[in-house]
Amino acid sequence: MAVTPVLAETPNLKPGLWSYTTTTTLDGPMKLTPKTANNKECLTQQQINKGIDMLDIPEQCAVLKADVFRDSSDFALSCNMQGIKTLFKGNAAFHGEHMNGEMDGEMNTPLGLMVMKMNFVSKRVGECPAS
């Protein structure tokens, strides 16, 4: 069941090469130490114009909520990954050359309820490399 964005505005982001830092924690019957990942990616104006569709949402997920505004977005996803249903809720704030956000997920696993929290910060670090 896909949902159309309530209001789809173009996010306040500048195209270019962006650096992302994501920290993920997992709590529940098994507690994992926080994991931090860094990556860089080119963000084009065409991707920005897609609003919530600029996110790389897995095929096994359905968008339940997608409110995209100039300076922020709120979203919710329901995913079925290998038989484990997960509900994700998140938000992001857009500030031109940087953005930040968070996403929480609850998974009912055979071991019990697991809660995943992801926080991210990103900033524009330059122009995209020439192809």
46-79 pLDDT per residue, tens: 988 887 777 777 888 999 998 889 999 999 999 9
pTM for this structure? 0.83
Mean model confidence pLDDT for the chain? 88
Q: How confident is the model at residue 43 (pLDDT cuts 50, 70, 90)?
A: very high
pLDDT attached to residue 74: 93
CATH 2.40.128 corresponds to the domain 16-126: yes
* Terminal Cα-to-Cα distance of the chain (whole angstroms): 37
pLDDT attached to residue 29: 86
pLDDT attached to residue 131: 66
